[in-house]
Structure 1
Amino acid sequence: MSSVENEGLRRNWSQAAQGWARWWEIIERGTRIVSERLVDLARLQPGDRVLDVATGLGEPAVTAGRRVGPRGEVVAIDRSPEMLAAARQRIQALGVQNVKFLQMDAEQLTFPEQSFQAVLCRFGLMFFGDLRAALEQIHGVLTPGGRFAAAVWDHPASVPMISLPVRLIRQVLNAPPPASGTPGPFNLADVERLKTLMADVGFVDVHHERTLVRVEFSSAQHYVAFAQSVLPEKEELATLPPERQAAVWRALAKLTEPYQDADGVVRFANRAHCVVGSRPPESG
Structure 2
Amino acid sequence: MEPSQEQIREQQKQSWNKFSPGWKKWDTFNMAFLKPFGDAIISALKIKDGDYVLDIATGTGEPGLIIAKLTPNGKVIGTDLSENMLSVALENAETKGIKNYETVAADVSELPFTDATFNTVSCRMGFMFFPDMNLAAKEMYRVLKPGGRIATSVWAGADLNPWVTTIMSIIQKHIELPAPLPGSPGMFRCSKPGFIADIFKQAGFKNTSEKLISVKVDYKSFDRYWEMMLDVAAPIVAAMANADDATKATIKTETEELFLSRNKDGEAILDYAAFVVYGEK
Give TM-score, length-normalised by structure 2.
0.94
Alignment correspondent of 2:145? 143
Letter in 2 for 1:122: R
Task: Tell me the secondary structure at the aligned position of residue 166 of structure 1.
Answer: helix
Contact 1:31–1:214 (Cα < 8 Å) also in 2: no
Give 1:177 shift.
4.4
Give 1:72 shift.
0.9
The equivalent position to 1:38 in structure 2, one of 37, 41, 47, is 41
Tell me, in whole angstroms, the C-alpha distance in 2 between the residues paired with 1:150 and 1:87. 19
Alpha-carbon displacement from aligned partner over 1:38-85 (angstroms, at most 9, x marks no partner):
1110111011000000001111101111111x2010000000111111
Which aligned pairs between 1:103-118 and structure 2 lie closer than 5 A? Answer: 103-118=105-120
The equivalent position to 2:277 in structure 1, one of 247, 272, 275, is 275
Contact 1:120–1:150 (Cα < 8 Å) also in 2: yes
Tell me, in whole angstroms, the C-alpha distance in 2 between the residues paired with 1:228 and 1:250. 15
Task: Tell me the secondary structure at the aligned position of residue 194 of structure 2.
Answer: helix
Letter in 1 for 2:38: S
Structure 2 stretches lacking a partner, 5+ long: none
Tell me, in whole angstroms, the C-alpha distance in 1 between the residues paired with 2:59 and 2:169. 24
Tell me, in whole angstroms, the C-alpha distance in 1 between the residues paired with 2:77 and 2:264. 41
Give TM-score, length-normalised by structure 1.
0.93
Tell me, in whole angstroms, the C-alpha distance in 1 between the residues paired with 2:127 and 2:259. 28
The equivalent position to 1:190 in structure 2, one of 171, 192, 199, is 192
Structure 1 stretches lacking a partner, 5+ long: 280-284
Alpha-carbon displacement from aligned partner over 1:94-146 (angstroms, at most 9, x marks no partner):
11111101100111101000000000000111100000010000000000110
Which aligned pairs between 1:16-95 and structure 2 lie closer than 5 A? Answer: 16-68=19-71, 70-95=72-97
Tell me, in whole angstroms, the C-alpha distance in 1 between the residues paired with 2:168 and 2:176. 12
The equivalent position to 2:101 in structure 1, one of 82, 99, 102, is 99
**4+ residue runs of structure 1 moved beyond 3 angstroms?**
none
Root mean square deviation of aligned Cα: 1.4
Letter in 2 for 1:74: V
Q: Sort the Cα spacing of 1:265 and 1:35 in 2 relative to 1 into closer, same or farther, 3 A.
A: same
Letter in 2 for 1:163: T
Task: Tell me the secondary structure at the aligned position of residue 256 of structure 1.
Answer: helix
Contact 2:177–2:239 (Cα < 8 Å) also in 1: no
Give 1:184 shift.
1.2
Contact 1:46–1:72 (Cα < 8 Å) also in 2: yes
Contact 1:154–1:271 (Cα < 8 Å) also in 2: yes
Letter in 2 for 1:236: A
Alignment correspondent of 1:226? 228
Which aligned pairs between 1:201-212 and structure 2 lie closer than 5 A? Answer: 201-212=203-214
Letter in 2 for 1:206: T
Alignment correspondent of 2:164? 162
